[in-house]
A and B are shown apart, each in its own frame.
Chain A
Amino acid sequence: MTQDELSAWFVDQVLPLEGVLERYLRRNWRDGDEIADLRQEVYARVFDGCAQGQPDSAQAFVLSTARNLLIDRARRAQIVDIETFADMDALAPTLDELSPERHLAARSELRLLQRALELLPARCREVVELRKVEGLSQREVAARMGISEDTVEKQVSKGVRALALALQATGLGGAAWAAAQALQRRGRTTQ
């Protein structure tokens, strides 16, 4: 696989799993501050691990990579937290996490983006709105807002990161909501 093919596969198959991966990491790792680092490390391992060929299931591969990473980290830390790590088997991905993530329909994707946009800081949001909703170039955005192009570029840089973070958060929220719904349904049937 060429670098470009690998990148394309990564974007198509791995990045959409971010919500699943985050939930898995949060469930199995106590320190929330380290989740972003762990996610990044999983991505890097998945990317390198798939250089020779892509796995049948990206989701299974991502989750097993995450599991191995957590075990590595726990070992390296040398202080194994009994509460979190009483049983390494607990790290096995749940059935829910292993079931294929539904692809977002175009409309819910738009809703997700809208909610993500809402989370951006005001000035940053205005830049992103003008750039992405109105379709203005950075130069036009600068003229429209009466600020310099350098400032717009800085706000875009900020916006790129904030948007990725917001998409992740809103995506997580939506899935968490769906999980809660599923739990409620299960609760009703057992009553």
Chain B
Amino acid sequence: MRSELTSIEARAADWIAERDRAGSAWPAERQAALEAWLNAATAHRVAWLRLDQAWRRADRLRALQAAPSPVNSKPSPMPWWKLKQQRRAIGGALAGLSLLALVLAVQVVAPLRGSDAQSYATARGQREAVALADGSRLTLNTATRLRTAVTAKQREVWLEQGEAFFDIAHDASRPFVVHAGRQTVTVLGTKFSLLREGERLRVAVLEGRVQVQAEQSRPAVLVRDDTAVAEASNVLVSRQTSQQLNAALSWLQGKLVFDQVSLAEAASQFNRYNRKQLVITDAAAASIGIGGVFDANNAEAFARLLHAGFGLQVQVSEEEIRVSSASAS
């Protein structure tokens, strides 16, 4: 008797899941098959109605979705379910809201204490790998400054400028917190990159789960292949294909990967890495679409390709590489 109910419920749930998957593309013949099953026995119908209703009720959970809050509002506490996720992630080491409190407190105190604090910096065009005491590995991209403080109780990094890739060793008892201006990124064990552009922070997650908190907004939880742009009042999360994400992290191999970006954008990327700046002199040249993989440190080779491929004029001096349309010069 019990097993009969169980199998009816399993079948009813399968129907609901199948229709849920199909969405608006639910074919008429499947609907006909469902109705035939429902009409076969009242037991089928009531089981289905009950489960379908439970599934519909769950739509109300949408209210829990973290939405960017208005600029003037106080930072709101984490929705409980994100809290739970986070708590799960930290293995219960930090309970409930104290996590948020800790994050905020640390921001205020701005500590740099004792011999455990280290500063690292890279010059333009330089890339540097840093191993932390906890086994985490950081890779600093061009023109980057950061400080680290790893103690028995916590692991913290202050990203003052530039870009870094974080390969964080898993440690449930010590969350890893990165401060970047008004933004805070909290993780447990994961791989992600951060690019700080003034008060704007770009986050790309390669593995695991990352919580990003802008000063005035609710925290957003990012998972693999998510990227986010965090500014003072909001965090915008979007998904990338693995390909796009790898392109964004190509600097780890000293490469720049462009997928149909404007020459102006490509030049500004090169200029992050090279003292000798690429200058695009006219709008026609600046709007040319660029695609391909290039050595970040070799702007001159890139300029030669522009000349060979697009017929652009290239003038190399001590300070800069000037690129212009053939007709404009």
Contact = CB atoms under 8 A, between A and B. Distances in A.
Given A7-B45, A122-B88, A160 B63 contact: no
B59 A132 contact: yes
Contacts of B172: none
Interface stretch (B18-26, B250-258, B316-324): B18-26
A164 B2 contact: no
Interface residues of B, number: 43
Interface stretch (A22-30, A91-99, A145-153): A145-153
Interface stretch (A36-44, A52-60, A78-86, A181-189): A36-44
A161 B50 CA distance: 10
B46 A33 contact: no
Most buried by B among A10, A40, A138: A40
Contacts of B10: 157, 161
B58 A128 contact: yes
A157 B125 CA distance: 53
Most buried by B among A122, A153, A154, A157: A157
A146 B224 contact: yes
B58 A154 contact: no
B41 to A, nearest CB: 8
A40 B43 contact: yes
A7 B62 CA distance: 25
A157 B13 contact: yes
A111 to B, nearest CB: 9
B65 A164 contact: no
Interface string B31-57: 000000000001101110111111101
A66 interface: no
A37 B1 contact: yes
Interface string B93-107: 000000000000000
B13 A160 contact: yes
B47 to A, nearest CB: 6
Given A37-B2, A114-B81, A156-B17, A44 B58 contact: no
Given A122-B88, A153-B21, A113 B46 contact: no
A158 B21 contact: no
Contacts of B239: 143-144
Interface of A: 7, 10-11, 15, 18, 33-34, 36-37, 40, 43-44, 46-48, 106, 109-110, 113-114, 117-118, 122, 128-129, 131-135, 137-139, 143-146, 149, 152-154, 156-161, 163-164, 167
Nearest to B224: A146
Contacts of B59: 132
A158 B13 contact: yes
Contacts of A43: 46-47, 50
B78 to A, nearest CB: 13
B57 A138 contact: no
Contact of B49 (A10, A145, A159): A10
A113 B57 contact: yes
Contacts of B64: 110, 114, 133
Contact of B51 (A7, A10, A135, A161): A161
Nearest to A7: B49
B130 interface: no
B81 A164 contact: no
A160 B84 contact: no
Contacts of A48: 42
Contact of B13 (A36, A106, A161): A161
A160 B5 CA distance: 15
Contacts of B16: 156-157, 160
